[in-house]
Structure 1
Amino acid sequence: MELEVWLNGTHVAMLSENRRQMTMAYTGEAHPVGAPLVSVAMPVGAGRYSDPKVRAFFRGLLPEGEARRMLAYDFGLDESDDMGLLAVLGKDCAGALMVQPKGDGAALVAGASTKDTVDDAEIERRLRALPVHPLGVDGHIRVSLAGVQSKLLLSRLEDGRWVLPADGVVSTHILKPAHRDLPNSVVNEAFCMNLAARSGLKAARTTILSFAGTKVLVSERYDRRREVGGIRRMHQEDACQTLSVLTIVPEHKYEEFGGPTLVGIARLLEQWGDAQSKEELLRQIAIHVIVGNADAHGKNVSFFHQEDGTVCLAPVYDIMSTEYYRTAYARSMSRTLGLFVNAKRNINEVTVEDLVSEAERWGMRYRTAQSVLTQLLERLPNALDQAARDVPEVPQALIELVQERITSARAEAARLGQ
């Protein structure tokens, strides 16, 4: 099987599979040589890339876990058939790439304004159908997004109306219903994401909306940008893709099971990015620790490709306090970090000094790391109050948990600064 890989309207590569070996070769339209066009793991060149780099990148565009199994079944494919799934789902995936069968013609993006809108009742029906139609995929809608959590992809018009991402219409928003096993998951994530944004981090915009009585977290896709004439797709990839970590099972995105490390991510930014991105990475990791989110892993860190061939850190996303469920509900949520900090595995053992030491391992100066964290911690108390107002439904127990963690971190930072 052969698939075409398109980037912003240009056919840049051919993807092939023969005897279970996936390969990718750039076309003559891909330039300049050495540019990380598809991935920083596969710069433009005359050669042919092969597994595991190729599969790690392209498999990373596909859903994981039960969603992957169900979609494969619906399309009559084997669960392990990456090429088959890309052929049916690859036209609307993360970033700016479009993957499609050879010979389908120029990959075009249609204007959502020309399509029929859907009302709240229809959206609620599709949310209820997610257990059997992951991502909202059906015979008409073909979209892909990595992750295991249940979610619905939609496109939103400038006037606020919603449109199905079908026939070339690009999805612009991710709708996440409440997690069946985690009470208050919608307000938990909305609160933590607003806290990150209010404290100065670049964060995906999130809000809570209700559709026919069903409350969901609505996240604006940071890899989509509204411009005159339509929606522009922004090319990006996550740390598992950039570091060629093959996620055969979802656990592989965690450092404990061979996933990316913070040092590896920082080295990538050193090679392809800038110092500001490393400082933002430190802020991202710090906010996960502050709210008590042990679940931040290699697919929760992503990079934007820039026109000059460099990359920068993408906005932070998927922040939720896992520690809240241990304290408020006595749930057996893991405290093992998805990305270890200064070799610490337990999130409750990570100190401000550990965060500074981790940054030093990336080549950051002690004083620089200390300053980045001190400034973040100074903003957090006010950001906490603002986030609580942004999300009035947030449980008091969650506010108090995060407040205690902020107070503890600020006290330690003050001692270090003496």
Structure 2
Amino acid sequence: MNGVLVGTWLVSKNNPQQFQYAESWLIHPSRRVLSLSMPFKPGNSPFTGDMVESYFDNLLPDSEVIRQRIQQKFATKDISPFALLAEVGQDCVGAIQLLPEGEEPIGWDSIQVMPLSKKEVEQRLHTVVSQPMGAGGYEDFRISIAGAQEKTALTWHKNQWCLPLAQTPTTHIFKLPLGLVGNMRADMSTSVENEWLCSKIMAAYGIPIASCEMGQFGDSKVLVVERFDRKLAGSGQYWLRLPQEDMCQALGKPPSLKYEADGGPGMADILKLLRGSRVSKQDRVHFFKVQILFWMLAATDGHAKNFSLFHEKGGMYCMTPIYDVLSAWPIIGEGSGHLSWHDTKLAMAFRAKNKHYKLKDISTRHFFDVANKLGLGGEVGGMIDEIIEATPKVLQDVEAMLPRAFPAEVAEPILKGLAESANSIQSYMGKK
């Protein structure tokens, strides 16, 4: 972690996986846990088994197809997290770098890059779907970014996109359009515009969210997302990697259980964990407000891996900005290639007396019921009032931001769905 040995991950044939903190890390001024699921223990005994594998598994892309491409490129023996991260674990989400035992990270405290022309960036984007992330002819460029979407990452240096070399981290993630998704083969080829618009909406409501902009490189359209787990050192001579983990890692869940309906974390689990945040009230209110906004936006993919924590010195932690917000409003409808309103579900249920995933089954009453159940009863009324009061200006300001030729098939259903959801909440509050 930023040039300091944190610990050792050991995988052997006949024993459970093991992770143990280095004794030197336990007395280092920058010491902090790798994960809330692996806290410091008296005697520093190793962690073993599923929690270890889950932590490292969550560093990889979710998609098995992408994992298989990494395997093919680097000729690994299998697609296990250990085998794949041995090849692409030098630039992971958060601060850790995975290196062979005994190998020192060289050049992490300098900026070593190869500048790229716009044409070269375009060429790299073309290779994303045919080659794994971090593979493109340069042995030093090996990165791993979690998630299900096709993406790559580059470094912004001296006003130019660059390929990072040696141990220099990437600073921005490039996300390509999703294309056809789900069993209904819904067209999400405008996912770049969709996510950009959702990010502006969330920010307008006062929610910290990853900064992003739309980019065009030749015929390749991308969402360029600034990494909040990177920070230029005070000297300006190198990039720091900031320790973080997602909620699956923090709660010891594998990526296969990122959805609550599959046995993964729900609102109650995350709000309980956030009681320990350095800014507990702020984080808990923001998290619950996000759930309401997800309902308004029909943002159906707000699973546990799309919420993360920063780890700070002294054992403190707090929520990172949110990220990966996409609205389903542009594809909600009946018929081929659409997602039926009757089947549209959130990733996390509003659980009061019963659990409610479907948008059509959730109403403002459930916001109050769930907030009361989860210890936010005193805040939810003000939270909802803020949303209602802010919505007209949010709609006005965001509409004014839309670039010329922004696709109407994205903007109109999202802004309409947001407005109608706000009206529904306001109608309930007027009767309350």
TM-score, normalisation: structure 2: 0.88
1:370 aligned partner: 381
Q: How do 1:154-303 residues align onto structure 2 when only pairs under 5 Å count?
A: 154-157=154-157, 159-181=158-180, 182-228=188-234, 229=236, 230-247=238-255, 249=256, 252-273=257-278, 274-303=280-309
Q: CA deviation at 1:382?
A: 1.2
Give the match's secondary structure for 1:164: strand
Kept in 2, the 8 Å contact 1:272–1:310? The answer is yes
Q: How does 1:298-337 map to 2 (within 5 A)?
A: 298-327=304-333, 330-332=337-339, 335-337=344-346
2:24 corresponds to which residue?
29
SS of residue in 1 equivalent to 2:201? helix
Do 1:110 and 1:170's aligned partners in 2 also have CA atoms closer than 8 Å? no
Question: Could you tell me the percent identity over the aligned residues?
Answer: 25
Which secondary structure state, in structure 1, belongs to the residue aligned with residue 338 of structure 2? Answer: coil
Query: For residue 99 of structure 2, what is the aligned residue in structure 1?
Result: 100
CA shift in 2, pair 1:44/1:8, >3 Å: farther
Aligned-partner residue type, residue 419 of structure 2: Q
Name the amino acid aligned to 2:398: A
Instruction: Decide whether aligned partners of structure 1 residues 97 and 86 sit closer, same or farther in structure 2, where only a CA change above 3 A counts.
Output: same
Give ranges in structure 1 of 5+ residues lacking alignment. Answer: 1-6
Question: How many corresponding residue pairs?
Answer: 403
Is 2:38 aligned against 1:42?
Answer: yes
Alignment TM-score, normalising by the size of structure 1? 0.90
Query: Hey, what's the Cα distance between the residues in 2 that align with 1:291 and 1:56?
Result: 31
Deviation at 1:286, TM superposition (A): 1.8
Mapped to 1, the partners of 2:103 and 2:262 lie a distance apart of 39
Q: Please list the CA deviations of residues 199-245 of structure 1 after superposition, one character each: whole Å capped at 9, or x if unmatched.
A: 10101001111112422111111111234323221111111101111
Q: Aligned-pair distance for 1:16?
A: 0.3
Question: 1:176, 1:216 within 8 Å by CA — same for their partners in 2?
Answer: yes
How many angstroms apart in 2 are the aligned matches of 1:235 and 1:362? Answer: 28
Alignment equivalent of 1:387, drawn from 380, 398, 413? 398
Paired with 1:107 and 1:260, the residues of 2 have a C-alpha distance of 38
- Check the 8 A contact 1:295/1:322 in 2, yes or no: no
The alpha-carbon distance between structure 1 residues 335 and 36, as it changes in their structure 2 partners (threshold 3 A), is farther
Stretch of structure 1 that moved more, 143-152 or 82-91: 82-91
Structure 1 distance, partners of 2:208, 2:243, is 17
- What is the CA deviation profile of residues 317-375 of structure 1, one whole-angstrom value per residue up to 9, with x for unaligned ones? 111112321239851376222111222111232222322332333322x2312212321
**C-alpha contact 1:187 1:391 (8 A) present in aligned 2:** no
Q: What is residue 122 of structure 2 aligned with on the other side?
A: 124
CA distance in 2, matches of 1:109, 1:374: 47
After superposition, the C-alpha distances for 1:165-220 in whole angstroms (9 at most, x for unaligned) are 33212111111122222132111110001100111010100111111242211111
| Structure 1 residues 388 and 226, CA gap change in structure 2 (3 angstroms) | farther
- Deviation of 1:57 (Å): 0.7
3-state SS of the aligned residue for 1:21?
Answer: coil
* Most deviating of 35-44 and 329-338: 329-338
Q: Distance in 1 between matches of 2:67 and 2:91?
A: 16
Runs (4+) of structure 1 exceeding 3 A deviation are 327-330, 413-416
